Amino acid sequence: MNKVRTRFAPSPTGSLHIGGLRTALYAYALAKHENGDFILRIEDTDKKREVTGSREKIEELLTLFGLKWDEHYVQSERVEKGIYKKAAEKLEKSGYAYNEGGAIRLKIPKNEKVGFHDFVLNKDIKWDTNTLEDLVLLKSDGFPTYHLAVVVDDNDMKISHVLRGHDWMPSTPIHLLVYKYLGLPLPEIGHLTDILDPDGGKLSKRKGSTTCEALLKEGYLPEAILNFIMLLGWAPKDNKELFSLDEFVKAFDPSGFQKANPIFNREKLDWFNGQYIRQLPDKELNSRLKTQDSRLAELSEDKQLAITSLVKDRIKKLSEFRKLAGFFFEWQKPAPRMFGRYYKDHLAAAINAIEEGKSLENVPKEKRFKVGDFFMDLRIAIAGSKFTPPINDSIMILGKDETIKRLKKISS
């Protein structure tokens, strides 16, 4: 068998979406599973749609997710070498393309069938050429369109398996004709299923982030995002769910491609993220949390780690850190309506116990308070919220003085 060579071929026209990352991941795994090569090809022939910086961002993200490419190409650089022009002229000379207004167009034949076997969907797909239109292959400015460049490059770069999103299916019959007319062998071609919103329809950002950058900013770990998308269109033979990239590559086998469109289940993504957060060593988690909230870095190392370990079991996203632990850095006097009926008694008793170095646990029994009510008032007083890490640990980190200061400001 020839070496497996796959490619990811993004156009630098905007942010890398979760679907794009999935295509890159599957292409990477397909190649690496067979010790093959993974190629990154920047498809920047549509200069009007190009977004400055997006190429660099895509490369940075692929690197962050660990999808290392073995070779890297940029189509605009190949334009300068006249590679596409030569192919277009060859088609023109042999009568499969014609010149119109300075552009070279593919001549679609009448009453023919074109088809291929999709290796992802495991299905034969056919088109009637009467449903297709003559399309531009080479623009008047000498730049190729996607249809020409993709075929020429996949062939030149010896791509054995073309993997792309389902959106590109309508372009495939055009490519099939170009392959045929240029006398090139067909690679394996596969189209990945669409990722759906839980409410149906294609994934959209109405319900939340769908770009890699936005998800990272929200506090999802790259490991968790990657693990989540591994299973959005592929399933292992067993029910294993947690995969590192290496484990995924080992397990990856095209027979695991799913035929049904996967659903972007945010609860599942949260679950993965929680798993990965808890797997991180405290020190590592601490440094990632500092990128979310720079105030953490201002504390002593001991305190930083103590706070990190307190929130570790409780957050699903790094961005929740501010909500959960913000009170360590900043305190606002809670409105009286937040408290229960007996809060003044509760807080006074707590101040006493802390000042005398007694355990808070015994206070409710001694004073005949309801345990839950007592600690809830204390929580609200110290943190301004009903949802905090365990209150005793939090007081230890805040320190006796700061705690008493806060309590007194409320009860006075």
DSSP-based three-state secondary structure for 71: strand
Q: Is 43 in the site for ligand GLU (CB under 6 A)?
A: yes
- Residue 352, both tokens: 């006493």
Q: Would you tell me how many other CB atoms lie within 10 Å of the CB of residue 153?
A: 21
Catalytic residue among 68, 205, 333, 344: 205
Of 9-17, 219-227, 289-297, 371-379, the segment contacting ligand GLU by CB under 6 A is 9-17
CA distances from 122 to 28, 118, 156, 373, 381 (A): 20, 5, 26, 61, 61
Among residues 340, 326, 254, 268, which one has the least CA distance to residue 294? Answer: 326
For residues 67 and 221, which CB has a smaller minimum distance to ligand GLU in the complex?
67
- Which of positions 159-218 make contact with ligand GLU (CB under 6 A)? 164, 168
For residues 22 and 164, which CB has a smaller minimum distance to ligand GLU in the complex?
164
Least gap, CB of 297 to ligand GLU (angstroms): 39
Least gap, CB of 62 to ligand GLU (angstroms): 14
For residues 21 and 224, which CB has a smaller minimum distance to ligand GLU in the complex?
21
For residues 150 and 325, which CB has a smaller minimum distance to ligand GLU in the complex?
150
Q: Applying CB under 6 A, which of residues 40, 103, 150, 216 lies at the interface with ligand GLU?
A: 150
For residues 92 and 153, which CB has a smaller minimum distance to ligand GLU in the complex?
153
The size of the chain, in residues, is 412
Is 180 one of the annotated active-site residues of the chain? no
Strands 136-138, 123-128: pairing is unpaired
Least gap, CB of 104 to ligand GLU (angstroms): 20
Of 4-12, 121-129, 189-197, 198-206, the segment contacting ligand GLU by CB under 6 A is 4-12
Contacts of 147 (CB under 8 A, 6+ apart): 106, 135, 137, 171, 174, 175, 178
Among residues 274, 352, 279, 287, which one has the least CA distance to residue 320? Answer: 274
Per the CB < 8 A criterion, the answer to whether 137 and 105 are in contact is yes
Q: List active site positions.
A: 205
Residues found near ligand GLU in the complex (CB under 6 A) = 9-11, 43, 150, 164, 168
